[in-house]
Chains A and B, each alone.
Chain A
Amino acid sequence: MTAPIIRLRNVVKTFGDFTAVDDLSLDIDAGELFCLLGGSGSGKSTLLRMLAGFESPDSGTIEIDGKDMRGVDPADRPVNMMFQSYALFPHMTVAENVGYGLRRMGLAKAEVATQVAEMLRLVKLEALAQRKPHQLSGGQRQRVALARALARKPKVLLLDEPLSALDKKLREDTQFELMNIFDATGTTFIVVTHDQEEAMVLATRIAVMDAGKFVQVDTPRQLYEFPKTRFVADFIGNINLLEATVTGPGRSEGLAALHCEALGAVEAACDGEVPPAGAHVWLAVRPEKIALSTDTAAPGYDAVVDDLGYRGGDTQYRLRTASGAALKVTKPNTERQGQRPVDWDTPVRIAFAPEAALVLRQ
């Protein structure tokens, strides 16, 4: 077991009477692509700026590569940052921008030129070395910023909303390009983002942040399939959350029997121990894990189609159950023809496996 590249212990940062980062402890291993995911004001950017050294914690310690970073200037840290605005130097060419950090290290001219060329090859910008930033497109600027931050071969690369300034199509391509560069360099990446889809695609691990705290730190798959709280369940992807009361253990190990206002008697999986009977819980089911049938004799629960949204790849249905509760269901459109979406006001039956649903206590 190698030592973590980043160790946070009880880190606190306040601005006036606003607590931006509230007693955070975390280890990040070398070679991770770690995402800090949260809304604005969740403390994710403050944490990143503390790692870069632009802010210092009020209390607690930050260790990078085994060294305490207290009082260490950003210029001397083994980390580099890619800024949200890219922060390219407007009066320098692409090559000069990328070489800036290398020149500060006192490298010889020829050595700087070689390494700059290598970096530009990595981000596929060799042809544009002599351009100024204003002569580049948004995507090209983003790659210059990435090359400049990687040029000093930092132990950790900090990326502040690296893709937020790009349009949707370009963002998807760039996500994969970013992962290729991550693989090629072997550097630890820490990405701050508010875009949960981006975090899911990129990260090996995600820390979901809210009000300066980590709500859950897990792999993307764990976060999606086994959210620990309603906040995480709702923040990552789409989900149906229904209030319910535990009536006892389920028919098999790890299941709980519930009474749910919206549906009636249901069973759902528990992450950990089955809560005692009478406990107030939430039933969480992802929309794509609910089967929808127009056969009114099918097993499951009654519902009526309230609204539907055809999205090409799938169709999202908004249903109303017999008790009047709203429920979201998505169905992939796997066939081109013949498969008609279920129409408005059609009575349907919905069903889901107990293992597909989750009991959340908080």
Chain B
Amino acid sequence: MRWVMLILALAGFALLYVPLLILVIYSFNASQLVSVWGGWSTRWYVELWSNEAILDAAFVSLQVAVLSATIGTAFGTLIGYVLSRFGGFRLRTVFTAMATAPIVMPEVVTGLSLLLLFISMEQLIGWPAGRSVTTIVIAHATFGMAFVAVVIQTRLAGFDRSIEEAARDLGARQPQIFLGITLPVIAPALISGWLLAFTLSLDDLVIASFVSGQGSSTLPMVIYSKVRLGVSPDVNALGTIVIAAVALGLFLAAWIMRRGDAKRKREEARAMAGQ
């Protein structure tokens, strides 16, 4: 029984990581042809570095991800806070469902509807002028916001409300309580919400395709269009860099959290022993 489980687990991991491994290996392929092995080489990395279209797209993606994650986190936090705190207002359930709808909405629909919105807005008020980085940021912020709202709501559900009451009892007003007490306590959830929105924005192809314009192609869009013309080996190199960046980020986040946790546990144990 044990070895059956082990094999199944290994098969699962293989399914996840073998494709990535093949991509990494082929990124070091010297051959011009993707499927023919021509020995080891780093030429595609060098070539990538001189490919301005890809560097530009990477910059656009990064810019969009940072901006949209920040805007999405700000609004998402407010939504999550209001939905979990301002208890029994009318249509609360409807609002809760509506706040999370963008998560399950097909991306094609979201993209198309946002495109229509931008076009009508441009006709009516002249802003946003054309499709640009701005429109992608707005589009990404809308779904980033939905994810952040869910993360914040979950965090606030397990939040000891008496610390907010204590602040109120000690003379604090609502804005002071939110900024001085609630926000610092839920900061870790805020950071993970931001990271989630950031990653989702980097990842998105469909919505960006609808709302981007001239000179505002994101990295996934450039990769996708290159692949349609035939997979070139420099895309493998780009993919490998992305994998390395994500792995490093995950490792760092886990390391920081574990270090903080371990320190906290040690201190708690010491305090309890010394009482």
Question: A residues bordering B, Cβ < 8 Å?
Answer: 52-54, 73-76, 80-81, 83-85, 87-91, 100-101, 104-105, 131-132, 134-140, 148-149, 152, 170
Q: Do A83 and B162 touch across chains, with their CB atoms under 8 A apart?
A: yes
Q: Can you identify 8 A-B contacts, CB atoms within 8 angstroms?
A: A75-B170, A84-B162, A89-B163, A132-B267, A134-B264, A136-B271, A138-B272, A148-B170
Given A101-B171, A104-B170, residue A87 in contact with residue B163 (CB < 8 A):
yes
- B165 contacts A87, C-beta separation under 8 Å: yes
B167 contacts A by Cβ under 8 Å? yes
Given contacts A74-B168, A101-B171, A139-B275, contact A85 B185 (CB under 8 A): no
Which residues of chain B (165-191) have a CB below 8 Å from chain A?
165-173, 176, 181, 184-185
Q: Give the one of B173, B176, B268, B271 with max A CB within 10 A.
A: B271
**Are B270 and A152 in contact, with the CB atoms below 8 A?**
no
CB < 8 Å neighbour of A54 from B165, B176, B181: B165
Q: In the complex, A139→B171 CA distance in Å?
A: 25
Could you tell me if A75 and B173 are in contact, using CB atoms closer than 8 angstroms? yes
Q: How far is the CA of A131 from the CA of B271 in the complex (A)?
A: 10
Q: State in angstroms the CA–CA spacing of A135 and B271 once bound together.
A: 5
Residues of chain A with a CB closer than 8 A to B160's CB: 85, 87
Name the B residues within 8 Å of A83 (CB-CB). Answer: 162, 165-166
- Given the known inter-chain contacts A87-B162, A89-B181, A90-B185, please indicate yes or no for A100 contacting B167, CB distance below 8 A: yes
B163 partner residues in chain A, CB cutoff 8 A? 87-90
Whether A104 and B171, one on each chain, are in contact in the complex, defined by CB atoms closer than 8 angstroms, is yes
Main SS class of interface, B: helix
How many residue pairs, one in A and one in B, have C-beta atoms under 8 Å apart? 79
Query: In whole angstroms, how far apart are the Cα atoms of A138 and B272 in the complex?
Result: 7
For residue B274, CB closer than 8 A to chain A, the reply is: yes
* Chain A residues in 8 Å Cβ range of B169: 52-53, 74-75, 80-81, 149
Which residues of chain A come closer than 8 Å to B173, judged between CB atoms?
75
Q: Are B274 and A137 in contact (CB under 8 A)?
A: yes
The interface residues of chain B lying within 8 Å CB-to-CB of A152 are 170-171
* CB of B77 to closest CB in A, whole Å: 17
> Shortest CB–CB separation between residue B208 and chain A, in angstroms?
37
How distant is the Cα of A140 from the Cα of B275 in the complex, in angstroms?
Answer: 8
Q: Closest CB of chain A to B47's CB: distance in Å?
A: 49
Residues of A within 8 A of B264 (CB): 134
B271 — which chain A residues lie within 8 A by C-beta?
Answer: 131, 134-137, 140
Given A137-B275, A138-B275, verify A87-B171 contact (CB < 8 Å): no
Contact between A134 and B275, CB atoms less than 8 A apart = no
Greatest chain A CB density within 10 A among B171, B181, B184, B264 is at: B171
Q: What is the size category of the interface that chain B forms with chain A?
A: 20 to 34
B259 to nearest A CB, angstroms? Answer: 15
* Complex CA–CA separation, A273 to B226 (angstroms): 102
Complex Cα distance, B182 from A349, in Å, reads 66
CB < 8 Å neighbour of B171 from A91, A105, A140: A105
Chain B residues 142 to 180 lying within 8 A of chain A, measured CB to CB, are 160, 162-163, 165-173, 176
Q: Taking each of B165, B169, B264, which has the highest tally of chain A beta carbons within 10 Å of its own beta carbon?
A: B169
> B243-275: which have CB < 8 Å to A?
264, 267-268, 270-272, 274-275
Closest to A131 in B: B271
**In whole angstroms, how far apart are the Cα atoms of A231 and B165 in the complex?**
34
Q: Kindly state the separation between the CA atoms of A152 and B162 in the bound complex, as whole angstroms.
A: 18
Closest to B184 in A: A91
Given A87-B163, A91-B185: A100 in contact with B275 (beta carbons within 8 A)? no
Q: Which residues from chain B contact A140 at a C-beta distance below 8 Å? A: 271, 275
- Considering the complex, give the chain B residue whose CB is closest to the CB of A77: B169
Residue of A nearest to B273 (CB): A137
Chain B positions within 8 Å of A76 at CB level: 171
CB distance A89 to B165 under 8 Å?
no
Beyond A89-B181, A104-B176, A137-B272, is A81–B166 a contact (Cβ under 8 Å)? yes
Closest to A88 in B: B163
Chain A residues near B181: list those with CB within 8 A.
Answer: 89
A75 touches B272 (CB 8 A): no
Q: How far is the CA of A135 from the CA of B274 in the complex (A)?
A: 10
- Bound-state CA distance A246–B168 (Å) is 57
Pair A135/B270 contact, Cβ less than 8 Å: yes
Kindly report which residue of chain A lies nearest to residue B176, judged by CB atoms.
A104
Contacts A80-B170, A105-B171, A152-B171 hold; do A134 and B165 have CB atoms under 8 A apart? no
- The smallest beta-carbon distance between A312 and chain B, in angstroms, is 25
- In the complex, what distance in Å separates the CA atom of A91 from the CA atom of B181? 8
Please give me the residue from chain B that is nearest to A83 by CB atom: B162
- Would you give the shortest CB distance from A92 to chain B, in whole angstroms? 9
For B173, give the chain A residue with the smallest CB separation: A75
A100 to B168, CA, bound (A): 11
Q: Point out the residues of chain B lying under 8 angstroms from A101, CB to CB.
A: 170-171
The 5 A-B residue pairs with the shortest CB-CB distance in the complex, in nearest-first order: A137-B275, A104-B171, A101-B170, A87-B166, A87-B162
Q: State the Cβ distance, A49 to closest chain B Cβ, in Å.
A: 9
Can you add 7 more A-B contacts, CB < 8 Å, to A53-B169, A75-B169?
A52-B169, A74-B168, A85-B162, A89-B181, A101-B170, A104-B170, A148-B170
B172: chain A residues at CB < 8 Å are 75, 100, 104
The distance from the CB of A84 to the nearest CB of chain B, in whole angstroms, is 8
Question: What is the CB-to-nearest-CB distance from A56 to chain B, in angstroms, rounded to a whole number?
Answer: 14
